[in-house]
Chains A and B, each alone.
Chain A
Amino acid sequence: MSTQLSIHEPAHLQVENITVAYNGQPVLRDVSFTIPHGTRVAVVGPNGAGKSTLFKALVGLLPVRAGRIIIHGESLGHHKECVAYVPQREEVDWKFPVTVYDVAMMGRYGNLGWLKRPGQYDHAVVTRCLEQMRMTNLARAPIGDLSGGQQQRVFLARALAQEPHILLMDEPFTGVDASTQAATLELLTQLQHQGVTVMVSTHDLNLATTRFDQVLLINRRVIAHGSAAQVFTPDNITQAFGTRTLILNGRGSIVVDECCPPE
């Protein structure tokens, strides 16, 4: 069932001409890209560009209207536990009566299957993942008592416990403290060494440039995909961000990419 990770396999995530709709409106049109495994990819684009929509299509939460998503050479749906998703913090009900440990354990549920209880191995994995995210001493704490950074680290621990091949993180650098940001970045590097592909949506274009192998610039479609130097050209940036780009004559461009639009 679960496909063995191998460094020799060339492409692990292939997206071919997908169109994804949200509430009946197509948000992403004709999106294609290929990401070799163990790559850290920053997904960049203005608000409403379809970053979250792309992630939700990749985990199978939103149906793909056209095209296909191929992971390990198989269409999405043929393997269940290889993609993990770290939600934006606003998507979670923090008053729900679960502890840090409970949330991390949910990462194991996908491997367990119906009617099975977590066993020794599952508890060992959860303990290790909480340790890795420095959350061991908070394991028994209700999630409602956590700070913003700790909240994020619980969900990172859960994603690790899923032992994913592809990890998707939606805006993990928005509104967290410096130590959580550092812990997240450190985790990215570790995961890369383990051959895990990581896709992170972010508004921090500096981080996208310095801490990722590739940048995927989208705005309803793929505008550019490649190294930061290839992607962040004045032309591409204007296409993605439109009027929010300021082109300085001959010296480059400035993007004002706000993360949280006033509601």
Chain B
Amino acid sequence: MDWLITPLTYEFMLRGFLASLMVGVLCAVVGCYVVLRSMAFMGDALAHAILPGVAIAYLLKGDLLIGALVAAILVALGIGFLSRQGTLKEDTAIGILFAGALALGVALISTIKTYALDLTHILFGNVLGVSVSDLWLTAILGVIVLTTIVLLYKEFLVISFDPVLAATMRLPAELLRNLMLILLALTIVVSLQTVGVGLVAAMLVTPGATAFLLTRRLPTMMLIAALIGAFSSIAGLYVSFYVNVASGAAVVLIATAIFLLVFLFAPTRGVVWNYFRTRQRD
């Protein structure tokens, strides 16, 4: 069992595990709504759109996470504004802001001397460089996001499942939609440190999609997704420690492997069982 404990004796690894675990769970729970509301593109776009915020914060020697947060929320609301009242289709609005913000981010970062290294950390995360104050920020934002999701369970469920019922209930659909985008933005910003903007979409979508194949109730789906997110995060860090590969990539690869296993072998919806079932029937 020594191999399990050895990594934990390094303080930077311990911080990495904690950050990774929190981010894994947070992404997975928020990701359930991303999967159910078909917001995967939005998640990816938001992740890339935080680059200029990070770059500006870096240039001004401010806190990178605060910069990312401001950028993500601005872009989330910008997408909501451009696609409001059906002026533009939402995916078009996302595409425009996504590309524009990404370009601005790259342009700003290219003025920085240590360009290559910093960009790599932002794109793919640097979980082993997590500081204690980063951990605190992750924990606080995580608690805010998860508490909001629990408290507004009914409202988010109804606007996602049945907008007509939401209208008869006089729910402020626009407000709730923007709130959900802000929660998504917060989650992405928190994930910046562990998986980076390039891979956060995977952490949002993959555990939720896997859980979707295993259950037919939203609370269970969130729970299963959280477990998958947590397991992938921890297992990914071990792999990264022993095999010496980038930690963010290892985490995402493990989540993807779990998804593929479930996709093939899930009890009722697995491709393999379905294949045999149809053959038996023939």
B217 touches A84 (CB 8 A): no
**Whole-angstrom distance from the CB of A175 to the nearest CB of chain B?**
19
User: Are B157's CB and A106's CB within 8 A?
Assistant: yes
Chain A residues near B165 (CB, 8 Å)? 85, 106, 109
Inter-chain contact A96/B167, CB cutoff 8 Å: no
CB distance from B218 to the nearest CB of A (A): 5
A97 touches B217 (CB 8 A): yes
A97, B169: Cβ atoms under 8 Å?
no
What size tier do the contact residues of chain B reach?
20 to 34
Q: Looking across the interface, which residue of chain B has its beta carbon closest to that of A109?
A: B154
A97 to B168: give the CA distance in the assembly, Å: 22
Cβ contact of A98, chosen from B163, B164, B218, cutoff 8 A: B218
Interface centre among B151, B162, B215 (most CB of A within 10 A): B162
Q: When the two chains form the complex, which single residue of A61, A81, A162 contacts B167, counting CB atoms closer than 8 Å? A: A61
Docked complex Cα distance between A10 and B117 (Å): 76
Residue B216 lies at the interface, judged by CB distance under 8 Å to chain A: yes
The DSSP consensus for interface residues of chain B is: helix
The answer for the CA separation of A171 and B168 in the assembled complex, in Å, is 19
Report Cα–Cα, A186/B267, bound state, in Å: 39
Which residue on B lies nearest to A93, using beta carbons? Answer: B161
Q: Are B36 and A97 in contact (CB under 8 A)?
A: yes
CB proximity of B146 to chain A, nearest CB, Å: 15
Q: Please report A residues at the B interface, Cβ cutoff 8 Å.
A: 23, 56, 59-61, 77, 80-81, 83-85, 87, 91-93, 96-99, 102, 106, 109-110, 112, 114-115, 142, 144-145, 162
Most-contacted residue by chain B among A56, A80, A92, A109 (CB, 10 A): A109
Counted as pairs of residues, one from A and one from B, with CB atoms less than 8 Å apart, the total is 69
- 12 A-B pairs besides A61-B164, A80-B168, A109-B165 with CB distance below 8 A are A60-B170, A77-B170, A83-B168, A84-B168, A87-B162, A91-B164, A97-B217, A99-B216, A106-B162, A112-B154, A144-B216, A145-B216
Q: Are A80 and B164 in contact (CB under 8 A)?
A: no
Complex Cα gap A162–B157 (Å): 17
> Top 8 nearest A-B pairs by Cβ distance?
A142-B216, A61-B167, A110-B169, A59-B168, A80-B170, A97-B216, A97-B218, A109-B154
16 A-B interface contacts by CB (under 8 A): A60-B168, A61-B163, A61-B167, A61-B168, A80-B169, A80-B170, A97-B220, A99-B216, A102-B217, A106-B157, A106-B162, A109-B158, A112-B154, A115-B152, A142-B216, A142-B217
Q: Are B161 and A96 in contact, with the CB atoms below 8 A?
A: yes
Name the one of A59, A93, A114, A142 contacting B164, with C-beta atoms under 8 angstroms. A59
